[in-house]
Every structure is written in structure tokens, then in C-alpha cells.
Structure 1
Amino acid sequence: MEEVRAGLVRSTVYDCDVLVIGGGIVGLSTAYAITRAAPGTRVTVLEKEPGPARHQTGRNSGVIHSGVYYRPGSLKARYAVRGAAEMVKFCAEYGIDHAVTGKLIVATDRAELPRLHALVQRGRENGIPVRELSGAQIQEYEPEVRGLAAIHVGTTGICDYVAVARQLARASGAEIRYGAEVHRVDRRPGLGVAVRTRTGDVLRARVLVNCGGLHCDRIARLTGDDPGMRIVPFRGEYYELARPKLVRGLVYPVPDPAFPFLGVHLTRGIDGGVHVGPNAVPALAREGYGWGVVRPRELGATLAWPGSWRIARRHWRYGAGELRRSLSRSAFTTAVRRLLPAVTEDDLVAAPAGVRAQAVLADGTLVDDFLIKEGAHAVHVLNAPSPAATASLPIGREVARRALAMLADQAPPGRPAPRRAG
């Protein structure tokens, strides 16, 4: 039997060694890392959209996060701190617009002061330079911002993540297939995977890497793996500041540690405009960028997941506030004025929304860290929300390491495993 299986492995014709599903920044970073680590490895990327970075990567505020928020020792902390420095270097190397601006995290209520101090400690544990500011010192950085106290984080920056994704695609040397939505995955022991797209194309690969973002849990189930979670989509709605001169750089509230969201903040982007937001409301579709986008099958699957109802019961007060700010520009303005008193309702101009692919466990736990799991011939990236763009280069290397290890384990007799550089 083993001789028959070995014969099948040798006779199987593979279109590539590694097939990456998802042309966002994590998928493209993985392709880039594989070809850098193991030159000669054949990599193909499937992306259902007509171009890269059309969802989470291209619909955020473009911040290079410092890592100040994340639990020391977590993947988020390690990868964000390392990734921020690497992202600045990558942008400089390829001439991509970026700037290291620093940011303020501002406490506007006495109840927030202990949490602000905890962030100072956490930042120092993560090796991040943090300066504590009194209320009066806030105006040195942001004359229009008011608060009781703040911290300044000097390593935060901004960049053009869509340009980064495009450069990763070019520099990887991988074959990128756009308009290639995955319809079916067939996996057989010892024979790798075969993926059929909606257009009927079939690609065979030794290893599959799932970087499907908003659809990663569905893709994991297509391979036959149980991801143990579901993606519950949360829409983040943004405004653009009509008077961008009110804000010099990046201004954030003190986050609530019970939630993986950072709250409504002000971000001067690489284009000079100032984004205000996002809030976080349930989306009615995986790609539900507005209240009018409803996909009953996707919504039904979200409602059928027990974790969705447990989130609702546990956090309904928080959710009600977010919903109110979504439906009322006046309520949204009130939230912004806690940081920026000079802002008026007329200053807020509607801007494109984003959707966060939030992994939720059956017990209602919001997965707070990056989540990567393995199956037979498959690596699944199952939770990669912010700061995934910042951390995309080290995340890509970790996923690439796992994929290349699988490739080496299944190299058939007489065929050398891919040679890793260095």
C-alpha cells in the first residue's frame, strides 16, 4: 500500500508547491516570505477580487501600530513591535509613502487614569518608549485636544498599506491570480490539495495556506478542518474631518480592556486627511460595508453560531452605544468631542467603512490574539485583525515557516525538499 501511495505522489502533477488563498497583506507577505526563505519554491496566490488588498488591508486608517496595547509575550505584542520597525524599513526601501508620527493616548475621565497608567507599564514591558503627559502638556502635541492626562508613543506611524501589498505581490515572484474565488477544496492524505475556483479552474498544490480573512473559517471547513471558531463581522464606520487642521497627528482614547476595539480615534493619514472612527457594529454580511448590504445566508450562519448570542448577552450595553453612534451623527460627534471639543457635526463627512474579521469562540470569547492553526497539508490564519497589517512581515514569516516545514515533510523519494536561504 505504501508503495502504491509513493507511486501516486511521484506521478501527481502539481501546479505549485504552496497555494495561498487570499491576496490581502497577510497572504502576500506569506508568499513573499516563502520565496525569500526558499528560493525556487513555486507559490500561487488566489484572490477573488480583481486586485489586491480590497478588504481589511485597504479599508483601515493606515496606522503602523507600536504594540503598546498588547499583552507582553502575546503574538500581537511580539509581532507588532518587530513588525512596526520592519514596515518602516520596507516602506523606505521601496519608496512607499510613510511617516513615523507618534501618537497620543488621552484619558478624558478619572476612571480612565488607572488604565492609562497600565498602558505605560505595558509599553515599557514591550520595549516601547512612552512619555507621560499632564493635561496641560497635551497641547504641546495637539493644541485642540483636551484631557486629564495622556501618554505619547513615539514609534507609531502611518503608511499606504495598499502600496505595501502591491509591492509584496511584485517582490514575491509568486503567480497572482485575481478573480479566482475558491469554490471547493479536495484534500487527500499524501497527495496534497486540489482547489477548484468558481470559474472551474483546478489547481493542485502540496500545501495550502489559508489567509482568507473574512472568509477564513469557511475556507478551513472546505478543507475538512474544524477551525473551532467563526468569523463574526463587525463594521467600522469612518468619517473624514472637514477641518483637518484641528488635528496634527494621531489621537486615541484609552481603550476598554474588555473589548478588542480601540474606540473612536483621530488619525491623520498619509494623504493629509484626518480619519475619525471607527465604531464597531455587527455587519449583516461578511463584506457588509453598509446597513443596506444584507446576505441572508451569511447572516443566518452568524446567528446560528452560539458565540454570537453570548457576545450579545454579555456586551449589550456596549453594543447599544455603538449602534446609537452608527445611526446618529450627533451621537458620534458627542463621542469625538470628548477628545476634540472644537469639532462640530458639520465637520464629519462620511467616509468608506471597513469590516473587521473577528474570530469568536462558541462560548462567546472574542479571540484577542493572532490565531494560526494547522491541518493536513494546510496552514490556517484564523484571526488576524489589527495590528495584522503592521505585523504582516513577521506573521508572513511564521506562516511561511510552517508551510515550508510541511513541504519538507512530504517531499517524495528522490525529490529534495525546498532549500531554505541562510
Structure 2
Amino acid sequence: MDTPAQSTISANNASTITNGYRFALISLTTLFFMWGFITCLNDILIPYLKGTFNLSFTQAMLIQFCFFSAYFIVSLPAGMVVSRIGYQKGIVLGLGIACVGCLLFFPAASSQIYGVFLLALFVLASGITILQVSANPYVSALGNPKTAPSRLTMTQAFNALGTTVAPFFGSYLIYGASAEHTGVTASDVQVPYLILAISLLLLALVFLYLKLPALAHTSTSTGIFKGGAWQRTHLVLGAVGIFTYVGAEVAIGSMLVNYISSPTVSGVPEAQAAKLLAYYWGGAMIGRFVGALVMQKVSGGTVLFFNACVAITLILLSILSSGEVALWSILGVGLFNSVMFPTIFSLALQQLGKDTPQGSGILCLAIVGGAIVPLLQGMLADSIGVTLSFLLPAMCYLYIAYYGLWGSRVSQSTSTEE
């Protein structure tokens, strides 16, 4: 998942940011790839652990609950820690904690206790949260400020690339040749997370010795929960939009393997269904580039409304059909998810002025929707079935359509204050 951050570069450092930092930018890009990769790996972990531990859908969705609740719990402490130790040390700290989270999969697999898996995921997500707080400002810093948007687009594309290739990696290493739960145990997750732990450790060593520009950062003394941003209706409604969008995107991805492998959709083994996740997340990657071109001519609110309406249509089509139509319509939702997060984010921050940092913090906390909505869909799946549970993300997109067309409008009082 992508979370923007605000930062400024001191005038002294601006002149020193040249092509000499190209390797640093490449290293930072790998961070975006890694946390996109790790986040998507949860979608494969959910059906795997569900089968291994005979979990209900509600219990299985605790994976996403523990993972995305870290964004809400750790974001504020992470900001305070990074403000004390600096961005570069923050990156090293985040990589170190994420590495520990991956290594915790070993005692989790040995003990065969589901709760230890959940703890490992929370620690892993805590490290990623610290990474996002620390790493995002450097993307703007490493190069000419005029080309900062293109660098941000590139790094976010690599985040989406991570979510696209993760299904193939996870499906092969976790399910193996068997393509089923038969004959495999929870210990099979040790290998992929060991590989991730080694990769994160190597990245931590790189950033420990990498020469990076020093950044000056600003912070609000009022904090997240006090201040003028809460009086801006379009910002508050935008936070609900971020909550519902992240929740819907994660909930669909989390349920896809079970849904696709069901007899009414494709009936393929779960390992094969896991690979089809790449179309869902790959569509989001492609849609970002298409959406960027479209929004040069069409307003963000209109694009948001259109994409949300198409997403609702595709979900309803999938629910009411079966076979190939049900399969490709639900996978097609990923394409229209593509521009929703950055569009909602930018619309919500319109004309906030001095309240922009606080508004950004509020929107980042709303990512906790990725913890709540999948859990609610899991409860629905247990009570009314997997297929009908997709009505919940459809309702989330209904709100996003409202926000794009009406909720994102800046009130006249707000405009006058600026």
C-alpha cells in the first residue's frame, strides 16, 4: 500500500542532490517493491493458514486485521521516533524490525500456534510502517525538485510491481508442486519468509552505510487529533474514503483465492488461483499509468466517480454470474482501483493550507480500513457465503462514488478562509 509523506529539503542540501544519489534512489525503489510484495503475500497466506488450522473466514481475516492495525497503532510513535533519530536511521530501524517479523515465522511454524503467526505479522507490519514514515521523503529529495512527481510515480509503480509478482513467488514456495493443503504444514511458510528476512537484512546494511542527503522536516505542534483539519468537511469525508477504499481493496484481495477456487467460479486448485491474483494487482499497476494520462483532461472527482461505479458493476456482475464471467469481472476491479488512493488523498487535501500536514496524518491513519473491512467481510462469508460477502466492498465503492462527485467539494467557508 502507498502512503504519501510531506517533507522539505534545506537550501544547503538542494544543490548537493545530483546524479550521485542514483544508487540511493534505486535502493529506495527496492523498499517500495518490498513492502508491496510483503503486503500482497498476505493474500496467499490467508487461504493457506485457513486450510492448515481449519479456520473460519473471520479467524483467517485476523491476518489482515493484525497487519493493517499496525498502520493505526505504530504511525504516530514511528513519526516521533523518526523525528528524533532521522530518516536514514529510521529506514534502518524499519528494515530491522521487519526482518525480525519475518524471522518470527520460524517459532510460529514450530509451535503451530496461529496467534504466533499473527504476532509475527504485526511486528512485520510495524517495521513497514516505520519504513513508510522514513523512506517517502527521500524520493522527493533525490534529484531535481521539478522531477519529483515522476520519481514518486516510478517508485509507486514498483510498489505495484511487488504486488503483481508476489502471487507467483508465494504460490510456488508455499504451495509447491502439490497445489493443495494435502501433505503440507504451516512450516512451509518458513522458506519464503526466510528469503524475505535475508533480503531485508541486506537492505538494512546497505542503508546503514549509504550516503543520503540530510532532510529538514516540519511537524505540527497540535498533533493529529487537535487542530483545524477536522473542521474541513471534505477532509473528514476523504478520510472515510481512504478507510473504505483500502478496506475494499484489501478485502477483495484477501478473499480472491477462496472465491476463485470455488466450484461456481473456476474450481481450480488454490495454488493456481493464487497466481491469478497477479491480474488483480497487475491491473492496478497498469491503471495508474492510464489514469495519470486521463486525469490530465478529466477532473479527479469525475474519474473517481466513474471508477467506483465500474467497480460496483463488476462486483455485482461477478456475484450474479459464474465461470469465466465471474472470474474476470472480479479480477477487473483491480484495474479501476488503480487511481483511487492517490485521487482521494489529493482531493481531501485541497485548500488545507497550514493544516495540510495534519490532514495527511489523518488520511494515513484511515488506512486502518485494511484491518476492519476484511474482518467484516470474513464474518459475512461465514454467515451468508463467500460470494454474497462481496456486497460489502461494493458498498464501500458506493461511498467512494459519492465522495468523487459530491463529498470532495470544498465548502465555500473553507475557500474563504484560505
Does the pair score TM above 0.5? no
TM superposition score category, shorter chain reference:
under 0.3
TM-score (norm 1): 0.20
Q: Which structure dedicates a bigger proportion of its chain to helix? A: 2
Q: Which has the larger radius of gyration?
A: 1
Normalising to structure 2: TM-score of the pair? 0.21
